[in-house]
Amino acid sequence: MSIAELIKCLEDINTSDEIENALDDEVLNCGYITDCHQLVQEAVYLADHLLVTEGGKRNITNEIELDKKGFYVSCLEKDGFGWLGGGIHTLKGIIAYG
């Protein structure tokens, strides 16, 4: 499992005709891509392992690698201890992980 695999998966999501563009209907799904497609499920799995350390902290190094490839990572939910969930921004919408 590598960050290159996650980047490839995200690129495939961007170009897939099978995945609806969540940004077209932001009212219904708030711009979030649902995990009903296998590529999205794979991206969430990889993000959970590559963007979150074993100690539950953010893996900033891998976030920077995604950003270099055009996939911005942001906090979706947090508490006093830090991030509870993150989001990867794609051309199709946001993929929630964590």
Tell the burial category of 49 from Cβ atoms under 10 Å away from its Cβ (0-12, 13-18, 19+).
middle
pLDDT band of residue 26 (cuts 50, 70, 90) is: low
Going from N- to C-terminal start, the domains of the chain cover: 3-97
The torsion angles phi and psi of 36, rounded to 5 degrees, stand at -80, -15
Q: Structure pTM?
A: 0.87
pLDDT tens readout for residues 63-79: 999 999 999 999 988 88
